[in-house]
Structure 1
Amino acid sequence: MEKRNIYMDHAATTYVKPEVLEEMIPYFTENFGNPSSIYSQARVTNMAIDESRGKIAKAINADRREIFITGGGSEADNWAIKGYANANKHKGNHIITTTIEHHAILHVCEYLGKNGFEITYLPVDEKGFINIDDLRNAIKDTTILVSIMFANNEIGTIQSVKEIGEVCRENKVVFHTDAVQAVGHIPVDVQELNIDMLSMAAHKFYGPKGVGALYVRKGIRLENLIHGGAQERNKRAGTENIPGIIGMAKALELAVENMEEENKKLVMLRNKLIDGLLERVPHSRLNGPCGEMRLPGNANITFEFIEGESILLMLDAKGIAASSGSACTSGSLDPSHVLLAIGLPHEIAHGSLRLSLGEKTTEEEIDYVLEVVPQIVQRLREMSPLWDNFAKGEK
C-alpha cells in the first residue's frame, strides 16, 4: 500500500504556489540587475521592487513608503522591538508584551530586559486572550511600546487588535503586532485596527522563505538593525532579494483575492476535525477559542496521558505531517510556553497536537486523520504508566 503524504503543518510553512514561482523565475535568470545601479537592467529590477512594495502595502491598507523588506518575520520582529526601543529610549524604557508571543518577540524582550529596559508580560486567559484592562493598567509614564501578536501560531487565538490599538492610541504608546500568522489568512487593515508597526513573513502565505516585511507607520523612528548600504531608504542595508520580494507580493495578492472563499472551506474542515477528535478520543481538550476568534485552519488538541513527540513520529509513519507547537522550538523537550500560559499543567501540556490546514487540504484527508489519530492515542496510552494508573483509579 502506497504511503500517504498529508501535510497538516501550514502554520510552520507553506509551499510556493506555481503562479508565484512563475513570477519569480525571470528575476533569477533575466532581470537580475542590482537595483542600486543606474543602468537600464537595474531600473527594471528597481521598478519591480517598487511595484511589489505597492502590492504588499495595498494588502494591509498602508502606503508603499511604509513597507520595509526584511529577511523574514523574525528579523521584522527584532527590528521593530530593538529598533524602536533604542531610537526612543530618551522617552522611556518600559515595554509591554504577552506571555504567549513567538520567541522572536520574547527573546528580544529578554535581551532588552538585560540592557536597561523594563518588560511587562501580560497574562492570558484559558483561551489565550489578554484582558484589555490588564493592558490599560500596565501602561505608565515610561511606557514606549506595546507588542502583542495578532494571532497565535500554536493555538490560533486572534486578539482584539483594534481595541488594543485604541488603548495604545489613547495613551500615545506605539503598538506593534507580530502578524506573521494573520497576514494573508484573515483581513488586516492597519488603519482601521490602529496598528503602528506590523511584521509578516512570505512563507506563511504560499510565498518563498527568507523574505518578509515590516510595516512602519509614517513618523515612527527606528534605529537600523543592519548597517551598510543605502537600501530600503537607508534603513536596511544589503542587496535586495529581488525574486523573494516579487514572490512575496504575488503570494500576498493571491491570498487576499482568495481569502473569503478559502476561509469558508478551512473553517468547515477545521470544525469537522476538532469535533471529530474531541468526540472520538476521551480525555482530550481543545486549546484556544472556538468560532471566529480562531484562525480558520488551526486545530490544537491536548490528549492526556501521552507525549506529543510520540504522536508526531507515529503520524509521520502513517504519512501525516503535523506539529506539537511552534516549528522554531521543535527541538525542545520543554512543553509549549503557550500551553503553560493558558493554564495547562506541565504533564498535560506535553500531549498536544497542532494540525494546521491549508489550500490543498481535503475532506478525505480529514477523514483519514480522524481514523488514524484515535488509534495512535489509544496505542500510546496502552504503553503509558500514567494512563495505566488513571485507568486503575477509574475502576
Structure 2
Amino acid sequence: MPVYLDHAATTPMAAEALTVMTRELARTGNPSSLHGAGRRARRAVEDARETLAAAAGAHPSEVIFTSGGTEADNLAVKGLYWARHDENPRRTRILCSAVEHHAVLDTVEWLERHEGAEVVWLPVDENGTVLLEEVERELDKEPESVALVTVMWANNEVGTLQPVEQIVELANRHGIPVHSDAVQAFGSVPLNFRASGLSAMSVSGHKLGGPVGVGALFLGRAVKLTPVQHGGGQERDVRSGTLDTPAIAAFAAAAEAVTSSLEVERERLGSLRDRLISGVRETVPDAVLRGAPSSGRLPGNAHFTFPGCEGDSLLFLLDLAGVESSTGSACTAGVPRPSHVLLAMGLDEATARGAQRFTLGHSSTDADVDALLKALPEACARARQAGMAGHESSIQTAATVARLGSSSH
C-alpha cells in the first residue's frame, strides 16, 4: 500500500465523518423544506453549524456553508471588495500577500482585470512570512483607498504561519476588513475567529478529515458582503443554493474530532515532522528546508528543495517507490512552473523547480517516515541523473523517470 505524504492536498476521511455522512446519505429532505423530512435535515444542518462554530471560536450565525475553500475565498474577496467599493468608490486597493493560494491570488487578479481593483502585493521574507512593516506602510499611506486586506493563516506550500492577528490590529486602526484563508490552518493549529478580529475566514472540509466538496466562510455578523451568486436566499442571503446536508454534517463531525484532540495531535505530528526533516538532511545532505522554523510552521509540513533535481521527476520516482508526495507547484498546459511562493521568498527559478513537499496527517505513522527516508536517496540520485526537465512536458518527464526507475530493478 502506498505511503501517503500529501495530506495538505487532501487527508483521508475521519471515521467520525464517514459514519455521519453514511447515515445522512440514507436519509432525505431539503433543509429549506417545511415538512418533516425538511425540518429534520434543517436540524442536522443547524446542529452542524453550532458544532463548527464551537470548533473555530465563532458564533453559529457567523458560519456560511460553501462548496469548499475556493468558493469561500471567492465569496470573501469579491464580496468584500464589491461591498466596500459600493460604499466608497475610492476604495479600490486590495492588499494581498504574494504567497497566497491561487484561490485568492487568481480572484484578486480577476478583480484587477475586470473590476478596476488595484492590487498591492505584500512582500515576504526568506521564510515566507509577510513583512508587517510593509503592511503598516501600505495601510498608512492612503487608508481611505483600501477595500480589504487578505492574508492566509498558514501557507499551503511551505507551511509558514502568518502574523494574522498583528495584521488585523494594523488594519483595525483604519476600519479596514481583513480576510484570511485558513484552509491549511483549521484543524492543524489553534485558531479562534472571534479572538482574531478577522472580518472573514475561509475553511475547507477535506483538509481536516471531512469530505471533499464542502467548506465554510466565517463572516462577522456586522460585516457587509455582496453575494457572488443569487437564488433562494440561503445562508443569510449571502450564499444561495440547496445545502448539502450529508457533507455539512460530516464536515462538522470531522472538525469536532480534530479540534478535541488538537494539542495532542499537534505534538505528535510535530515530532514526526521533525524526525522526517532530520532524516532528509542526513540522507540527502544538500537538501534545503524551506519555510519558517518548526515553531512557526504547520506541524505536519516539511518542504524541501533538492539541488539538481526537477521536482516532478523526484515526485514520479518517489511514486514508483510507493511514496506519494507533492511538488507544491502549479503546472500550466503541461509545462512545469516554479512555485510563485518560492519565487516570492527570493529563490531563483532553477532552485524553486527542485521543490518537494511532504505533509503529514492523522493517518501518518513512523513507518511512513521510514519508507520515505529509505526511498529518497535513490529517487533523488535518479532525478539528478534525469536532470532538470527544462522544456520537456510533464508527460516526457514522467516517461524519462519511469525508464530510470525500471532500470533499477
Tell me the TM-score normalized by structure 2. 0.90
Look up the match of 2:52.
Answer: 56
Look up the match of 2:36.
Answer: 40
Q: In structure 1, what is the Cα distance between the partners aligned to 2:254 and 2:180?
A: 21
Kept in 2, the 8 Å contact 1:306–1:381? The answer is yes
Look up the match of 2:308.
Answer: 305
Question: Structure 2 stretches of 5 or more lacking a match?
Answer: 390-409
User: Which of 225, 238, 241 is 1:222 aligned to?
Assistant: 225
Q: In structure 1, what is the Cα distance between the partners aligned to 2:243 and 2:112?
A: 32
Look up the match of 1:148.
Answer: 151
Secondary structure of 2:130 counterpart:
coil
Q: In structure 2, what is the Cα distance between the partners aligned to 1:226 and 1:325?
A: 30
Tell me the TM-score normalized by structure 1. 0.94
Kept in 2, the 8 Å contact 1:73–1:180? The answer is yes
Kept in 1, the 8 Å contact 2:4–2:368? The answer is no
Secondary structure of 1:177 counterpart:
strand
1:165-198 CA deviation, whole Å, 9 max, x = no partner?
1111122110100000001111111222221100
Q: Which amino acid in the other structure matches residue 122 of structure 2?
A: L
For 1:92-107, list aligned pairs within 5 A.
92-107=91-106
Structure 1 residue 349 corresponds to structure 2 residue 349: no
Give how far 1:203 is off. Answer: 0.3
Q: In structure 2, what is the Cα distance between the partners aligned to 1:310 and 1:258?
A: 37
Give how far 1:326 is off. Answer: 5.2
Q: Which amino acid in the other structure matches residue 34 of structure 1?
A: N
Q: In structure 2, what is the Cα distance between the partners aligned to 1:383 and 1:94?
A: 45
Kept in 1, the 8 Å contact 2:160–2:297? The answer is yes
Look up the match of 1:280.
Answer: 283
Residues 77 and 290 of structure 1, relative CA distance in 2, 3 Å threshold:
same
Across the aligned residues of Structure 1 and Structure 2, the Cα RMSD in angstroms comes to 1.6
1:238-269 CA deviation, whole Å, 9 max, x = no partner?
11111010011000000101111111111111
Secondary structure of 2:356 counterpart:
strand
Structure 1 residue 241 corresponds to structure 2 residue 237: no
Residues 297 and 321 of structure 1, relative CA distance in 2, 3 Å threshold:
same
Look up the match of 1:22.
Answer: 19
Q: In structure 2, what is the Cα distance between the partners aligned to 1:329 and 1:385?
A: 17
Residues 187 and 330 of structure 1, relative CA distance in 2, 3 Å threshold:
farther
Kept in 1, the 8 Å contact 2:305–2:352? The answer is yes
1:121-149 CA deviation, whole Å, 9 max, x = no partner?
01100000111110011112211200000
1:266-300 CA deviation, whole Å, 9 max, x = no partner?
11110111111122213221110112110000000
Give how far 1:60 is off. Answer: 1.4
Look up the match of 1:338.
Answer: 341
Secondary structure of 2:196 counterpart:
coil
User: Which of 170, 174, 179 is 2:173 aligned to?
Assistant: 170
Residues 331 and 19 of structure 1, relative CA distance in 2, 3 Å threshold:
farther
Secondary structure of 1:355 counterpart:
strand
Q: In structure 2, what is the Cα distance between the partners aligned to 1:48 and 1:194?
A: 29
Residues 170 and 261 of structure 1, relative CA distance in 2, 3 Å threshold:
same
Secondary structure of 2:288 counterpart:
strand
Q: In structure 2, what is the Cα distance between the partners aligned to 1:380 and 1:24?
A: 42
Residues 228 and 246 of structure 1, relative CA distance in 2, 3 Å threshold:
same
User: Which of 196, 203, 228 is 1:193 aligned to?
Assistant: 196
User: Which of 372, 377, 381 is 2:380 aligned to?
Assistant: 377
